[in-house]
Amino acid sequence: MNGVLDGISTYKAQLVIFDITGVPMVDSRVADHLVKTVQAVSLKGAKCIFTGISSTIAQTMVTLGIDLAMLQTAADLRAGIELAFKTLGLKVVGEKS
């Protein structure tokens, strides 16, 4: 959590993407820590997007009663980056070949 919060300050980040692809499971302690991290990020004025949530982790979070209203999610990292750009009002512009 400290690293994320320091990064928000250092880089003036408006948004943080947490990619948990490959995380096999989340227990109540880890889920609680994630929720607290989201709350702390929000207090710093930034937003969070979670990507790569497996079916197992989704079921665990629901079973644990995690407040999902505060979580913004995307299926994978690419979708998370697209959502981040949309949220920040950015778009990728490049040369056409």
Residue 35 belongs to domain with CATH number: 3.30.750.24
**Residue 47 domain flag:** yes
Residue 91 maps to a domain: no
Q: What is the pLDDT of residues 14-72, one digit of tens each?
A: 999 999 999 999 998 998 899 899 999 999 999 999 999 999 999 998 998 888 887 89
Contacts of 50 (CB under 8 A, 6+ apart): 17, 18, 19, 20, 34, 71, 72, 73, 74, 80
Structural domain harbouring 35: 2-86
Model pLDDT, residue 38: 94
Strand 73-74 to 47-51 pairing? parallel
Q: Is the pLDDT of residue 11 over 90?
A: yes
Spatial distance between the Cα atoms of 33 and 11, rounded to a whole number of angstroms: 23
pLDDT band, residue 80 (cuts 50/70/90): very high
Is residue 80 one of the residues assigned to a domain?
yes
